[in-house]
A and B are shown apart, each in its own frame.
Chain A
Amino acid sequence: MRGGSALPARLIQLGFVAAFLALWFVIGRTGAISPLFLPPVEAVWSALTALVQTPQFWAAVQVTLTTIVEAYLIALALGITAGYAITRSRFATKVLEPIVSSIFAIPITLFLPLFILLFGIGTASKVAYGAAYGFFPIALNTIAGLAGVENHYLNAAKSMGFSHFGTFRHVLFQAAFPVILTGLRIGFFVCFASVLGGETISSVSGVGRNIALSAELMEPARMFAWIAVVIVAAILLNGIVSLFENRMRKGPA
């Protein structure tokens, strides 16, 4: 938002959201769209307030959050380790980077039935699926970041007497950090979306399962309430991650 005031744009955005809610309200009143497909906004609101008071809601949220965190930590650990190990040799980078990136070109969603087959219908399959999805952007960005560090930085560090770890800590890591950070952000959102997707498609618990379940039980107001929760969570997480990312970018560099 360079130049001029951002105020009119903000106003239009708020107006857009207000118009959206008003339209939704009017449609609910007139019944232009079947309430089965689009329940009235008041019904969704009361379903939402009822929902957050139930212990089942918090149990489902906890299951999903735990799954996302586990999947992300696995993706993070494996992705960074793999990226670091592969870039230790220029030859290994040339051999393995194309293999990793061409596997990533296949939609991993195709393998979801395999994950269910191998890890069962519980949370383990969603952890594995989310971790597999999150692994690739993290590993590929770690490879790109570390392999992109110019050789003369490393030589300079060596000639100035840096130890192996010192070179990693002060040169390699610092230079690769912005690219790795991008991978960490993409990996997180990929993890988030794929865990919810896995839960929606086949699961026995979690937020995604509850969305699918309320659709199966023909309770659209409840389903919209769940969807609203996810949308708000996604917007909040987006804000938190950008805040965190901005701070990290300013921090170590």
Chain B
Amino acid sequence: MTLSDANIRRPAPTPCPWLRLSGTAKVAWTQRFIVTAFLVIWEIWARVGGDAELIAPPSAIVRALFANILSDPDIRAAIALTLFEIVVAYVLAVLGGLALGIAIGSSTISRRALYPIVLLLYAIPQVVLLPLFTLGFGIGPAAKIAFGFSHGIFPVLVNVVAGMQNINPLYLKAARAMGAGRADILRDVVFRHMVGSFFTGLRLAMTMTLLGVILAELYVSTAGVGYFTKLFAETFDPAPLFALIGTLAAMAIVLNVIVRTAERRLTRWKG
């Protein structure tokens, strides 16, 4: 086959490359364009019209990320400490929420009596208890872990109880008809049914734990990221402040993505 043959068989190329893109590709390119345009406008605005004490252009933020944030061992240690606080608080919240949820959800009477109390506590803006946590746990990492834990435990608890609740009664009837005892039903029917809802709880718990730890860090901190954000904000040094916040935001996104991916992988069997 010669080159000219191949040319003849090819369909006439569409004049504009944009029109040749598939629907999803168009969406992706428009998103990239919007994000780029946003950064460019921010850069120009910050250089031309913005107050240098309040707003930094993206280029200066990237420079500050390497010059002030990642190269400073104190700030690196603060970021690592925050990550440690989040992970410990999250693990404790998941274990505690699971244990309490099973305890509350495994009998009708305890669920009826205690679940509304749990929901009521969940509705209270916990942030007002933050000074109390500082009084009780000091200004170190313990208060941050405790506050992250108290935020993260509720979504796990609520979802575990909810998951144990809405079971198709036919399954229970069938299990009982086949001679399953209370323990068998709990293990083989109720827990299995709870798994999906439990993973939803795991995802929400990460969001809430992040919120709790960050709130506690911002409230009072002597060595964590809260200390440095306060320092940069009070000295009107926006570039490292933006860079530090960006780093933490990236950390939050990565943690959320890990939890979401785990949720998707582990609930795949549900189809």
> Which residues on A sit within 8 Å (CB–CB) of B135?
36-37, 215, 220
Residue in B closest to A198 when the chains form the complex, CB atoms: B127
Residue in A closest to B236 when the chains form the complex, CB atoms: A117
Pick from B55, B114, B125, B136: contact of A234, CB under 8 Å: B125
Rounded to whole Å, the gap between the CB of A217 and the closest CB of chain B is 11
* A75-128 interface (Cβ within 8 A of B): 91, 94-96, 98-99, 102, 105-107, 109-114, 116-118
Give bound CA distance, A42 to B238, whole Å.
Answer: 48
Chain B, residues 115-135, CB within 8 Å of chain A (1/0): the string is: 011001001111111111011
> Which residues on B sit within 8 Å (CB–CB) of A95?
27, 30-31, 34
Pick from A12, A91, A214, A234: contact of B123, CB under 8 Å: A234
Q: Determine, out of B88-96, B191-199, B249-257, the stretch whose residues face the partner at the interface.
A: B249-257
Q: Determine, out of A151-159, A165-173, A189-197, the stretch whose residues face the partner at the interface.
A: A189-197
Give bound CA distance, A211 to B128, whole Å.
Answer: 7
Classify the secondary structure of B's interface with A: helix
Check if B129 sits within 8 Å of A227, measured CB to CB: yes
Rounded to whole Å, the gap between the CB of B248 and the closest CB of chain A is 5
Check if B215 sits within 8 Å of A111, measured CB to CB: no
Rounded to whole Å, the gap between the CB of A13 and the closest CB of chain B is 6
Query: Does A230 touch B at the CB level, under 8 Å?
Result: yes
Residue in A closest to B126 when the chains form the complex, CB atoms: A193
Query: Does B214 touch A at the CB level, under 8 Å?
Result: yes
Pick from B113, B131, B214, B242: contact of A114, CB under 8 Å: B242
Query: Does B150 touch A at the CB level, under 8 Å?
Result: no
Give bound CA distance, A234 to B253, whole Å.
Answer: 30
Query: Does A235 touch B at the CB level, under 8 Å?
Result: yes
Query: Does B207 touch A at the CB level, under 8 Å?
Result: yes
Rounded to whole Å, the gap between the CB of B208 and the closest CB of chain A is 10
Known contacts A107-B214, A227-B128: A13-B117 contact under CB 8 Å: yes
Query: Does B210 touch A at the CB level, under 8 Å?
Result: yes
> Which residues on A sit within 8 Å (CB–CB) of B113?
8-9, 12-13, 16
